[in-house]
């Protein structure tokens, strides 16, 4: 029989770690988002919009390759009872490094395929895929997969223990290093290569610091068949979810890349960056705080899972609904304030895309599914959105142009909510009254955004 006082001590310990991790995740990612937005504001004044369109597509392709080979190493280490075993961690590291080399090789082959497709007129000359610099940018940028492949598994151990202080510091330092590299490059050459240099530098610094600043297992080349089998067995559903997740989260850029020119995609990327700033903060809380906490609760005190789920959901939903309302009613004013006239059309895109943030809180459910050892449910929930995105968006663009395509993209975020709600009810993680109560933050955000727009209209 477990001593109640000991159980209470464990609970308090988990609460303390979750609160501390939440503070680090929020403050760290807020700072990271501020740096990313600040560097974007600076670079948009130094570089042309079409360069951001090329980089957006190149990043999307590389992210796609990464997701198509994701066996959930982080989720494996957090979920597995062998998560602190050096043999298990070294096996994960070998898989990670091998995967990075494989991704680079595939990306180089893809660069040649894009180059050949353009020469043979298989793609529209007005699309981003036909941009002359795309194959070369993609080849250089993909080397970041090799660099990241050799990151220490100390990152994964820190996530398992919900200890994010040093991890957050490393991410901030590497991001600042990337910004410095971009600025130095711009002094010599104002081209898209400044953005590439920044991305590679950031990956390199992050990898070096992961080995030198974090506590944990020092990696070496070691393989254990049993550990590899466990990683692959659990990771096969993560792989499916990652592939589907990439297609639904980045499919918009892949689709638009073949429909619009580099400038238009660059403007879309600007609007997406601002919406993604909040989305990134919330996603990080889900993966770095909620998932480890839910996993520990599911292992020891599964009856408390619903209570913990709604505690986290209150924070996520309040922020999502409020900021969604602010951006919907002030998107154009915000873009006019932050960017010059070349980027003005990003304003209506931001106001439209902001509605997708209202679906963000429901993603927390996928973390609870993983904690319950049901990764396949995560795959099921995104299939509906995937179908919606790839079937409806091209049709909407054909009949209603760019605005129609963006409305279809926003709709895809909501198309899979019935599936999420179904599984939440089935697993005892749904309370309708609490869900409806949280919606009050949307009109509050709309009002605040409207006031901001009126003030900006008066001042500008």
Q: What local confidence, expressed as pLDDT, does residue 77 receive?
A: 67
- pLDDT grade, residue 241 (50/70/90)? low
Q: Is the pLDDT of residue 10 over 60?
A: no
Which one has a higher pLDDT value, 281 or 145? 145
Q: What local confidence, expressed as pLDDT, does residue 5 receive?
A: 38
Q: What is the mean pLDDT of the chain?
A: 80
Q: What local confidence, expressed as pLDDT, does residue 7 receive?
A: 39
Specify the DSSP class assigned to residue 48.
-
Q: What local confidence, expressed as pLDDT, does residue 9 receive?
A: 39
136-140, 276-280, 297-301, 391-395, range with the lowest pLDDT: 297-301
Q: Is the pLDDT of residue 163 over 60?
A: no
Q: What local confidence, expressed as pLDDT, does residue 22 receive?
A: 55
- pLDDT grade, residue 419 (50/70/90)? confident
- pLDDT grade, residue 459 (50/70/90)? confident
Dihedral, CA atoms, 260, 261, 262, 266, nearest 10 degrees?
Answer: -40
Domain boundaries, the chain: 4-459
Q: Is the pLDDT of residue 262 over 50?
A: yes
Q: Is the pLDDT of residue 443 over 90?
A: yes
Q: Are 144 and 94 in contact (CB under 8 A)?
A: no
Q: In this predicted model, what pLDDT tens digit does every residue of 105-124 receive, in sequence order?
A: 988 998 999 888 888 888 77
Q: How far apart are CA 70 and CA 237, in angstroms?
A: 10
Around 221, how many Cα atoms within 13 Å sit in the side-chain half-sphere? 2
7-11, 146-150, 201-205, 388-392, range with the lowest pLDDT: 7-11
Q: Which residues contact residue 401 at a Cβ distance below 8 angstroms, ignoring those fewer than 6 apart?
A: none
- SS3 readout for 322-344: HHHHHHHHHHHHHHHHHCCHHHC
Q: What local confidence, expressed as pLDDT, does residue 158 receive?
A: 66
Q: Is the pLDDT of residue 411 over 90?
A: yes
- pLDDT grade, residue 167 (50/70/90)? confident
Q: What local confidence, expressed as pLDDT, does residue 12 receive?
A: 43
Which one has a higher pLDDT value, 208 or 365? 208
Q: Is the pLDDT of residue 321 over 50?
A: yes
Q: Is the pLDDT of residue 68 over 60?
A: yes
Q: What local confidence, expressed as pLDDT, does residue 11 receive?
A: 43
Which one has a higher pLDDT value, 378 or 117? 117
Q: How far apart are CA 21 and CA 310, in angstroms?
A: 18
Q: What local confidence, expressed as pLDDT, does residue 235 receive?
A: 65
Q: What local confidence, expressed as pLDDT, does residue 375 receive?
A: 67
Q: Are 248 and 120 in contact (CB under 8 A)?
A: no
Q: What local confidence, expressed as pLDDT, does residue 76 receive?
A: 65
């Amino acid at each position: 029989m477990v001593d109640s006082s000991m159980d209470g001590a464990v609970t308090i310990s988990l609460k303390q770690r979750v609160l501390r991790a939440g503070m680090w995740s929020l403050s760290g990612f807020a700072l990271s988002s501020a740096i990313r937005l600040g560097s974007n504001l600076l670079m948009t004044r130094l570089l042309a919009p079409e360069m951001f369109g090329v980089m957006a597509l190149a990043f999307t392709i590389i992210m796609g390759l990464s997701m198509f080979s994701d066996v959930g190493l982080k989720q494996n280490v957090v979920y597995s009872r062998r998560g602190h075993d050096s043999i298990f961690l070294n096996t994960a590291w070998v898989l990670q490094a091998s995967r990075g080399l494989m991704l680079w090789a595939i990306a180089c082959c893809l660069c040649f395929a894009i180059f050949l497709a353009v020469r043979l007129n298989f793609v529209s000359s007005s699309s981003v895929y036909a941009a002359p610099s795309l194959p070369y940018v993609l080849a250089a940028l993909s080397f970041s997969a090799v660099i990241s492949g050799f990151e220490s598994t100390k990152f994964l151990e820190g996530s398992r223990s919900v200890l994010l202080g040093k991890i957050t510091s490393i991410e901030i330092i590497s991001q600042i290093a990337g910004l410095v590299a971009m600025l130095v490059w711009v002094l010599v050459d104002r081209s898209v290569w400044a953005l590439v240099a920044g991305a590679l530098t950031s990956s390199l610094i992050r990898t070096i610091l992961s080995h030198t600043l974090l506590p944990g297992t020092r990696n070496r080349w070691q393989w254990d068949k049993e550990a590899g089998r466990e990683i692959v067995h659990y990771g096969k559903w993560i792989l499916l979810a990652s592939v589907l997740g990439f297609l639904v989260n980045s499919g918009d850029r892949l689709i638009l890349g073949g429909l619009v020119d580099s400038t238009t995609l660059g403007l879309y990327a600007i609007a997406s960056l601002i919406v993604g700033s909040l989305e990134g903060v919330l996603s990080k809380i889900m993966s770095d705080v909620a998932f480890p906490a839910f996993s520990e609760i599911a292992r020891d005190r599964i009856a408390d899972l619903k209570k913990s789920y709604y505690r986290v959901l209150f924070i996520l939903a309040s922020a999502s609904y409020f900021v969604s309302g602010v951006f919907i009613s002030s998107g154009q004013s915000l873009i006019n304030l932050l960017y010059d006239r070349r980027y003005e059309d990003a304003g209506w895109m931001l106001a439209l895309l902001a509605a997708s943030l209202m679906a963000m809180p429901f993603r927390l459910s996928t973390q609870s599914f993983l904690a319950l050892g049901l990764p396949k449910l995560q795959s099921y929930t995104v299939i509906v959105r995937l179908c919606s995105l790839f079937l409806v968006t091209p049709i909407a663009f054909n009949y209603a142009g760019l605005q129609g395509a963006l409305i279809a993209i926003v709709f895809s975020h909501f198309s899979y909510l019935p599936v999420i709600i179904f599984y939440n009810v089935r697993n005892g993680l749904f309370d309708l009254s609490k869900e409806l109560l949280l919606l009050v933050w949307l009109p509050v955000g709309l009002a605040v955004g409207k006031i901001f727009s009126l003030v900006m209209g008066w001042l500008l």
